[in-house]
Amino acid sequence: MSGICEGRVVIVTGAGRGIGRAHALEFARQGAKVVVNDLGAEVDGTGSSTGPAGEVVDEIRAMGGEAVANGDDVSDWEGAQNLVNTAIESFGGLDVLVNNAGILRDRMLVNMTDEEWDAVIRVHLRGTFAPTRWAATYWRERTKAGETNHARIINTSSTSGIFGNPGQTNYGAAKAGIAAFTIIAAQELARYGVTVNGIAPGALTRMTQGLGMGQRAREVKPDEFDRFAPENIAPLVVWLGSEQSKEVTGRVFLVSGDTISVAEGWRRGPTARKGDRWDPAELGGVVPGLVEQAAPNATMAG
């Protein structure tokens, strides 16, 4: 198989179903060798199964590609290290890491438990950090040895994180953290030949079928473009994982259906300066005016 990622070695976490599965299959179609990571858990992170990852590997091999399954927990320190080692030992190296694994434990803040908070933060945020840390270590050591990297990291944020969505303080906080992590990691890892970008995808999957997207989705005719299909997200991710994307780093993209947008992050807005320390009592005549001049926060629609 040949394409824009021919010969590249790719890890995709949470690749057993939905968006991750679509990533893994498209990378394979574009010539990559793929490590398909998935615990086979439920949407809330409970349970596990080797089935989903193995099924994706079978699909890739049936189309003539190369793939291996990995069932490590990406939020576990040793598990994340073993995941990276699986790519190196199976295919001789690592070029691309796609951090996609995630769970949902939606709850309004006043009802959320500490376990619901910790579980989501662990899988999304720690589950992005740990594999990235071990992949970055591998690429740094290659640089020290005089090797050249054309490495790529693609993280999965969310509009819930960068714009905000009620009922998802845990998920949104994790996804906002991933967006910030992406920008900082891009700055740190550029010296090793690594680009780092993120996506905020919109698609109908197990995680979104009970949310607004699931409610808006409808039956699609066989010859009609399905704007909610998870396969629509993969082309951008695969391109970001290719050598063609070497000039793009530290950005988060909104991608859904046939639409790709660049997210524009926090920026300094209307400003007041005094030249001395503010007295709290005088801020009543200052802060409301600044807020009135400021652009409103973006909504989930961007």
Q: What is the pLDDT of residues 265-300, one digit of tens each?
A: 899 999 999 999 999 999 999 999 999 999 999 988
**How high is the mean pLDDT of the chain?**
92
The answer to whether residues 250 and 183 touch, using CB atoms and an 8 Å cutoff, is yes
Scored b (16 or more CB within 10 A) or e, 119-158 reads: bbbbbbbbbbbbbbebbbebbbebbeeeeebebbbbbbbb
Q: What is the pLDDT of residues 228-258, one digit of tens each?
A: 999 999 999 999 999 999 999 999 999 999 9
Which domains does the chain possess? 9-262 (3.40.50.720)
With residues binned 3-state (H G I as helix, E B as strand, rest as coil), the percentages for the chain, rounded to 5, are 45, 15, 40
pLDDT value at residue 210:
56
Q: Is the per-residue pLDDT at 213 higher than 90? A: no
Token digits for 252? 């988060």
The number of helices, as runs of H, and strands, as runs of E, in the chain is 10, 8
pLDDT value at residue 45:
40
| Whole-prediction pTM | 0.91
Active-site residues, by number, are 158, 171, 175
% of the chain beyond a pLDDT of 70: 91
Closest CA to 201 of 57, 65, 98: 98
Q: Is the per-residue pLDDT at 221 higher than 90? A: no
pLDDT value at residue 220:
72
pLDDT value at residue 212:
53
Q: What is the pLDDT of residues 8-56, one digit of tens each?
A: 999 999 999 999 999 999 999 999 999 999 986 444 444 444 688 999 9
pLDDT value at residue 46:
47
Q: Is the per-residue pLDDT at 208 higher than 70? A: no
The answer to whether residues 20 and 26 touch, using CB atoms and an 8 Å cutoff, is no
Q: Which helix (H) or strand (E) holds 254?
A: strand 252-256
Q: What is the pLDDT of residues 118-176, one digit of tens each?
A: 999 999 999 999 999 999 999 999 999 999 999 999 999 999 999 999 999 999 999 99
- For residue 3, give the 3-state DSSP assignment: coil
